[in-house]
Amino acid sequence: MKLKIKKLYDQAILPSYAHEGDAGMDLFSAHDYVLAPGDRTLVETGISVEVPEGYELQIRPRSGLALKHGLSIVNSPGTIDSGYRGQVGVILINHGQEVYEVRTGDKIAQGVMSKIERVVIEEVEELSDTSRGTGGFGSTGE
C-alpha cells in the first residue's frame, strides 16, 4: 500500500518508520513551539496525505515523550479520514511539570494506518444479553 504525501513547507519531514516491523511511522514538527505545564497546542507537521479509501491514519502519542515529559495527544488517537486533504496537525498537551520545547524536526507523534469497516446503522428495541450486561467502568473490579 502506498501513502501519498505532500510537503507543505520546505522544512517538513516525511513520516518514516524507525525500525523494521514498527506499526507506527514517526511524525515530525514543522515549527518550534513552547508548551508550559497544562498547555495544549496544534503542532503542524507540514504535510498533507492521501489516505486510501477504506483506511484511516491514526495519530497516536509517542511513549517516550509521555513517560519522560508528560506529553500526550488530547484526542488520542486522532483520525485522518480518506477524504481529508488538509495539513496533518497534532494536538499536543503538556501534562508534565516543566515547560517543554518542541523544535522543528522533532518527533512528536506516530501515525498508524488502520483498515476501517463501515457499518449499517440499525435502530432496535432490544440488544442481546451477555454475561457482562450493562457493567461499565470498574465493573470487573479493576
pLDDT in tens, 114-134: 999 999 999 999 999 988 887
Q: How far apart are CA 68 and CA 99, in angstroms?
A: 13
pLDDT at 142: 63
How confident is the prediction for the chain on average, in pLDDT? Answer: 95
pLDDT at 138 over 80: no
Average pLDDT over residues 27-55: 98
In a domain, 58, yes or no: yes
Q: Compute CA distances 26 → 6, 23, 109, 126, 137, whole Å.
A: 16, 10, 6, 44, 33
In a domain, 138, yes or no: no
- Which CATH number fits the domain that encloses residue 10? 2.70.40.10
pLDDT at 20: 95
Q: Into how many domains does the chain fold? A: 1
User: 39 and 93 in contact (C-beta within 8 Å)?
Assistant: yes
pTM, rounded to two decimals: 0.88
Q: Give residue 73's identity as a one-letter amino acid code.
A: I
pLDDT at 131: 84
Query: Which residue do the cell numbers 497544562 mark?
Result: 38
